[in-house]
């Protein structure tokens, strides 16, 4: 019989697999190989601990947070559109969000009433929140969230115009970046979905007189970049922050 992994890692493998993550993706997150992940993932099919945790999270979820649109809700949708996913397994569907930023994710978890769980990875850690309540999952699906979204996600259906700034800030905190080059602050955005990348660019272009570059990289990702002057216009458009949350490390350049 092979050497068993630590109980904490074993439980993490089972829970992540139950949420719908592939064995390959779990092996990227946790400090184990794919063979080990597959072993415990197969065993997890007969273990109910992950579904118990999901039910507990669902029972404590603050449904009022999702009843009406707000900048904070739009920000959360933006984060899920970029760093989140819809997990599908034999135990049902779950909307999940995984990030390294424990402070930000913990504050979001407190607001929506779900646990924020921390996992050890190969070189650091990652935090994750899960929403498994059926009506909330359906709400996200009605917006356009779907399994395997990376290359096909589109602008959320029915997103009100008055909270689009909050959504854009969530998207930028997920897949955008402000960075310095030769003393200038520039902006970049990347997405595997060509449709969403174009919609993101068009939203900015419809509000600002900007140029920028838009191109496909390595036949896999779509990039949108702005020069220093256009970045300053974007900064002014998105300020002041209408949300209670933001990713400090991305906005500190400003």
User: How is the chain split into domains, by residue range?
Assistant: 7-147, 164-251
Task: Tell me what the mean pLDDT of segment 22-48 comes to.
Answer: 64
Contact indicator for 115, 87 with CB cutoff of 8 Å: no
Continuous H helices in 19-70: 23-29, 34-44, 49-60
Task: Tell me what the mean pLDDT of segment 77-94 comes to.
Answer: 89
Would you say the CATH fold of 164-251 matches that of 7-147?
yes
Residue 106, pLDDT above cutoff 50: yes
Residue 19, pLDDT above cutoff 90: no
Q: Model pTM?
A: 0.79
Indicate the CATH number for domain 164-251.
Answer: 3.10.28.10
Q: What does the pLDDT look like over 121-175, one tens digit per residue?
A: 777 788 999 998 999 999 999 999 999 999 999 999 999 999 999 999 999 999 9
Q: What does the pLDDT look like over 169-186, one tens digit per residue?
A: 999 999 999 999 998 999
Please give the pLDDT value at position 254: 57
Please give the pLDDT value at position 49: 45
Residue 47, pLDDT above cutoff 60: no
Please give the pLDDT value at position 20: 61
Indicate the CATH number for domain 7-147.
Answer: 3.10.28.10
Higher pLDDT, 42 or 180: 180
Angstrom distance (rounded) from CA 45 to CA 91:
9
CA distances (Å), origin 180, targets 159, 186, 187, 204, 252? 32, 6, 9, 21, 11
């Amino acid at each position: 019989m092979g050497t068993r992994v630590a109980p904490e890692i074993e439980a993490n493998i089972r829970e992540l697999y139950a949420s719908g993550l592939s064995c390959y993706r779990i092996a990227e997150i946790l400090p184990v190989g794919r063979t080990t992940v597959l072993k415990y993932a197969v065993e997890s099919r007969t273990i109910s601990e992950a579904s118990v945790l999901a039910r507990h999270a669902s029972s404590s979820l603050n449904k009022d947070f999702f009843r009406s649109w707000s900048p904070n809700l739009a920000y959360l949708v933006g984060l899920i559109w970029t760093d989140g996913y819809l997990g599908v397994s034999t135990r049902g569907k779950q909307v999940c969000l995984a990030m390294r930023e424990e402070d930000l994710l913990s504050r979001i978890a407190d607001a929506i009433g779900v646990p924020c769980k921390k996992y050890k990875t190969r070189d650091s850690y990652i935090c994750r929140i899960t929403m498994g309540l059926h009506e909330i999952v359906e709400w996200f699906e009605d917006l356009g969230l779907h399994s395997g979204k990376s290359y096909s996600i589109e602008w959320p259906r029915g997103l009100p115009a008055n909270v689009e700034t909050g959504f854009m800030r969530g998207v930028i905190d997920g897949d955008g970046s402000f960075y310095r080059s030769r003393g200038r602050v520039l902006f970049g955005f990347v997405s595997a979905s060509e449709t969403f990348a174009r919609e993101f660019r068009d939203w900015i272009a419809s509000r600002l007189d900007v140029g920028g570059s838009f191109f496909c990289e390595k036949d896999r990702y779509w990039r949108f970049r702005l020069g220093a002057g256009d970045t300053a216009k974007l900064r002014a458009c998105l300020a002041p922050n209408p949300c209670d949350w933001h990713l400090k490390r991305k906005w500190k350049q400003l």
